[in-house]
Amino acid sequence: MSRETPLRGACSCGRNQYAIIIPPDSTEQAEVYFDISSEDRRIQGAPLTAWLRVPLLWYQSFTRSFFPDETHATIRRVFVPENAPHSRRVFCGFCGTPLTFWTEDPPEEADYMSVTVGSLSSDDQNILEDLDILPKEIETGDVATASTALTSTAPSALQPSAGDAQVSVSHRTGAIYGIPWFEEMIQGSRLGRVGKHRRGFGSSADRSVQIEWEVSEWHDAHGGVRTMQSPGSSQERVRTSFKRKSPEVG
């Protein structure tokens, strides 16, 4: 599959930005891979890192300063591990976002650059599956997407009707806004079940109505759906908790 527009990414503060220009009919030269090595865990501070590996010539980066005393060298920081002097890891010198990994061990790897998937823009993270560059997986049947609808919409019990006060959600945690193809990969695993716990809260413009919601999905022998709603307080307050059994992958 071809990609006419570049993939774009940046660090959290926006000082480091990059583009990956994929030539026509060349996506087979790119791949997404996961690194769980001890060295990567220490440097990234995470048990697993997702990388997009592309030919070095596809990768272009630049920096922009927000204040006069900021230089390219202070914005684009390079770390050379003592135990791996043949490699380079680039991160933002201001917000700390890990950006790229390059190595010349083995020598043929010097022609490639690995970019952290998390630093890509959200839209470009989502289209990696369409480019057919994700790791090949074992076929598990049709159970993969059974619960993805819940990650894109709030519980129906919290949808305001036409006559209700308009409520804006101000905070969410959990799998909402996750990368769909990654959530599908971990569906049914222990990590996937942990990720199926979501919480959020919000309030109306005049703060007369506050809403808190929580959704959990779990495996057990019986299944079922449970709903709890706590009584209101001095401010009208709604708290809703859902538990939903997620499909087992066996």
CATH number of the domain to which 64 belongs: 2.170.150.70
Which residues have a Cβ under 8 Å from the Cβ of 242 and sit 6 or more positions away? 155, 157, 213, 214, 215, 216, 225, 226, 227
Lookup result for tokens 């996937």: 192
Q: Is residue 158 part of a domain?
A: no
250 or 150, greater pLDDT: 250
CA distance 9 to 20: 9
Q: How many domains does the chain have?
A: 2
164 falls within a domain: no
Q: Do the Cβ atoms of 181 and 134 come closer than 8 Å?
A: yes
Q: For residue 196, what are the domain limits?
A: 179-215
pTM of the model: 0.63
My answer on whether 204 and 117 are in the same domain is no
User: Do 117 and 39 sit in the same domain of this protein?
Assistant: yes
* CB-CB contact of 11 with 97 (8 Å): yes
pLDDT value of position 208 = 81
What average pLDDT does this structure show over 155-179?
Answer: 45
Model pLDDT for residues 42-76, shown as the tens digit of each residue: 999 999 999 999 999 999 999 999 999 999 999 99
Please report which confidence band the pLDDT of residue 168 belongs to, taking 50, 70 and 90 as the band edges. very low
Domain-embedded: residue 85: yes
Q: b or e along 196-223 (b: 16 or more beta carbons within 10 Å of the residue's beta carbon)?
A: bebebbbbbeeeebbbbbbbbbeeeeee
